[in-house]
Amino acid sequence: MAERAQTDAAKRIPARKTSGGATAKGSTRVLKASPEGRSAEKRPAAKQTKTPAAPSPTEPRDKVKSKTAAKSSTKKAKTATSEGKKSASSRTKLAGRRDELLGYFRKMYEIRRFEEESARGYAQGKIGGFLHLYIGQEAVGVGISAALEQEDYLFQSYRDHGIALARGMSANAAMAELFGKDTGCSRGLGGSMHFFDVANNFLGGYGIVGGQIPLAAGTAFKSKYTQDGRVTVCLFGDGATNIAGFHEALSLAGLWKLPVIFVCENNEYSMGTPLHRTSPVKDIADKGPGYGMEGVICEGHDVLQVKACMSEVVKRARTGGGPTLVEMKTYRFRGHSISDPAKYRTDEELKTRKAQDPLVVFRKHLAAAGVSDKELATIEEEVETVVQAAVAFAEDSEPAKVEVMESAVYAPLEA
């Protein structure tokens, strides 16, 4: 009886591909993308050791060495030629996507400059309350947005400025909200942590850790029930994976095969606590199979990899394949909030991680596509104009209104 129970339990665990091509119960895929944006399963190269052939008794040892060296030289030449062809092909394909790539750069740079100006406004006392910056995570927001349709739903935690801008919110509406002005996206009543944009189906930033995760399962249930073809994407930090709402939402989504993608932006620190002190598993994606869904790991510093990864899981969700737990390996360059000096990490760690700055990484793709530094400088100047105009717009707008707050909070009295 016990053996039968164990066999039945094993059958219920979804099989996953391993790096060797076999199947394993409850494993996780690691996705990477070629520069052209195609996603593929990352497979470690198999180690093959060849024993050199012993020289023939009648063949001089020096002659054998010469033949071996010649073969090695030929092999290296063929490898170099193959790599050269691949590189040339990659450059050609990237060059054919210039407008798309420049659009990604423009949006990531806009987010970076917006956040930097937000920090300045906070230091000047123009922004109050909490302020959580997206600096270092821009590729995640832009890549996810690029993989979605306009009608798809998107939820975010309190680190929501970058996602809102990537989704299509104007810099004016975003900055005005930070300044507490009536022209802000939430009429100046929400502030940094409560952006909302119905027109772009951005259904909010949430100040309660993980509070948005069950809500995302709800919109996905609505989509499945009405068969509207929409997909819901829900973003949260690694700290949110340890709360009840995460468990309940993923359990329900896995059970009912809802069209939702749960995206953990793992920036390695839950406020100031490193992941290894808060989670028994190294990779958050490993939790996915426990809820009947695949876990996928994506390197979140490269916008092309993010888009390729998300395009695959979004397509699967849209066509009835059910939910996915995606772990974006990313990193924030600033503290948890604007008031956090981030003394829990070393300067050396920060320096090492900044080598993977999404903007630095993407400039390499742009160079391969034939984009010049002059073209990028022009885009940067245009973005600077937009961001500075947003600051001026926020400063000149009227403050949030009491009557708007009352009508949003209190129900009208019945006669």
Look at residue 68 in the predicted model and tell me its pLDDT. 58
> Which among 177, 174, 164, 259 is positioned nearest to 220, based on CA atoms?
259
pLDDT at site 240: 94
Helix H or strand E encompassing 177: helix 171-178
Helix (H, G, I), strand (E, B) or coil at 11: helix
CA-nearest of 26, 54, 94, 153 to 304 is: 94
- In Å, how far from its chain's centre is CA 279? 20
Tell me what pLDDT residue 43 has.
41
Measuring CA to CA, which residue among 332, 367, 366, 390 is closest to residue 106? 366
Beta bridge pairs of residue 41:
31
Longest dimension (CA), the chain: 113
- CA 212 from chain centre, in angstroms, equals 17
Answer yes or no: CATH 3.30.470.20 is held by domain 98-395: no
Tokens standing for residue 22: 């076999």
Residue 70 has what pLDDT? Answer: 60
The series of mean pLDDT values per 10 residues for the chain, 415 residues long, is 45 39 50 54 46 51 58 60 55 76 97 98 95 96 97 97 97 98 96 96 95 98 98 96 95 98 93 84 94 96 97 98 97 88 89 94 93 96 98 97 88 74
What's the predicted TM-score (pTM) here?
Answer: 0.80
pLDDT at residue 42, rounded to an integer: 46
Identify whether the C-beta of residue 68 lies closer than 8 Å to the C-beta of residue 342.
Answer: no
The pLDDT value recorded for residue 306 is 97
